[in-house]
Chain A
Amino acid sequence: DAKTTQPNSMESNEEEPVHLPCNHSTISGTDYIHWYRQLPSQGPEYVIHGLTSNVNNRMASLAIAEDRKSSTLILHRATLRDAAVYYCILRDSGGGADGLTFGKGTHLIIQP
């Protein structure tokens, strides 16, 4: 699976939108973009994923650049409960049931 690059940490204020960037310049046409987050002392939690089009769900939005070399996870209104490590991971659609390979992720800090 292709590699992703994320900032080590980001800080935001409560009730404000948060934009978490992810660069994946070597992405292939069959790579899905997955986002997971891990709250303190918890297992990773699925957030959202997409292939080409922007995606929305109850947790977040995923904006995918037209050339797919980058993407942005958008939390529309951050709460203190959103403080977590956010992982951007690529998974090749042909990769079968292989597990996720986690990078270092972005540590999101939410200020009250």
Chain B
Amino acid sequence: DIVMTQTPLSLSVTPGQPASISCKSSQSLLHDDGKTYLFWYLQKAGQPPQLLIYELSKQFSGVSDRFSGSGSGTDFTLKISRVEADDVGVFYCMQSLQLPYTFGQGTKLEIK
């Protein structure tokens, strides 16, 4: 299985400040088709995860452009340009290059 490792496990950010979450995979997520099968989700309290970013850097419909994904190979980053109170929750990276699909352990974002 591909292991997904996120850092940090938690972070506290002042509203209006940027935030960054790292995700590393145990093997490259670059497919022969040129796409990187890395995704980012946000799970707010009491809710299911919601898709933010698909295929490394593509924003899902309706997602704020404050969220952006980047990286390559095995190293990936989710950036929030300006954190808002509504961003509180747990962020997960996930890979779908290879079955079984696997998730990172999550990064909890709280507001200072």
Physical interaction between A and B: no
Chain A residues at the B interface, C-beta cutoff of 8 Å: none
